[in-house]
Amino acid sequence: MRFLLVEDNRQLASAILDRLAIDGHVVDHAEDLATAEEYTSTTDYDLILLDIMLPDGDGRSFLNAERARGKNTPVIVLTARSEVSDRVGALDMGADDYIAKPFDFSELEARCRAVLRRRTGTATNTIRFGQVALDALAGTLSNGSKVIELRNRELRLLEVFFGAPGQIIPKSKLVDRLFSYDEDVSENAIEVYVGRVRRHLEGSDVSIVTVRGLGYRLAVP
């Protein structure tokens, strides 16, 4: 998944970035609203972690503007404010959840998973197609009787395909989902990861099909 973290506290931001990187997520970091707006104007994110008090304004104004533009990217508000009215206000503006500072990173991770499950309409961390099952929390792919431990980018690549079965996904979108702005990669890198994932799916009724000139498609029974 590709996240955007909008947080001006560099120490906290660094800790969050490190923790989410361990989980295999790609995270872009904006220290102010202007940078956040620049990022969201060019990139579609799976989730936004949004601080309220920022150097150039209130994070709630950014949230309100995103919703006014019709963007429904899930947003979790990070707030040091304990007043109920502040939390209710953020939720009424379109936030999907909030977490009060200081927080435990395991709780933040759990809230991210819960918000993403709600958006995809799933009640568990496991997605099944035919003979295979992807467990995003455990980081495994079950193919018949085999349970395969996935590397981070293999897991995130499968999440993209399993989230859009049957749809053609261009290489450029896969690069966008798997790599941050700081990483200089070519679309050829995607071919390497797709090759690895295809091997994991061998022998099952699920496959990744190349659509020449357009991208890839997850073929499911």
The pTM (predicted TM-score) of the whole model is: 0.77
Q: Are 109 and 167 in the same domain?
A: no
Largest pairwise CA distance in the chain: 55
Q: What is the DSSP letter of 161?
A: H
Residue range(s) defining the domain that contains residue 41: 2-120
For 3-44, write each residue's pLDDT tens digit.
Answer: 999 999 999 999 999 999 888 889 999 999 999 999 999 998
> In the structure encoding, which two tokens stand for residue 7, read together?
């947080």
Q: Classify residue 34: in a domain, yes or no.
A: yes
For 55-95, write each residue's pLDDT tens digit.
Answer: 999 998 999 999 999 998 999 999 876 666 667 777 888 89
Q: Classify residue 147: in a domain, yes or no.
A: no
Q: Are 106 and 34 in the same domain?
A: yes
Q: Are 108 and 214 in the same domain?
A: no
Q: Are 40 and 104 in the same domain?
A: yes
Q: Are 109 and 156 in the same domain?
A: no
Q: Are 13 and 101 in the same domain?
A: yes
Rounded Cα–Cα distance for residues 147 and 204 (Å): 13
Q: Are 34 and 109 in the same domain?
A: yes
For 89-104, write each residue's pLDDT tens digit.
Answer: 778 888 999 898 889 9
Strand 146-149 with 53-54, pairing: unpaired
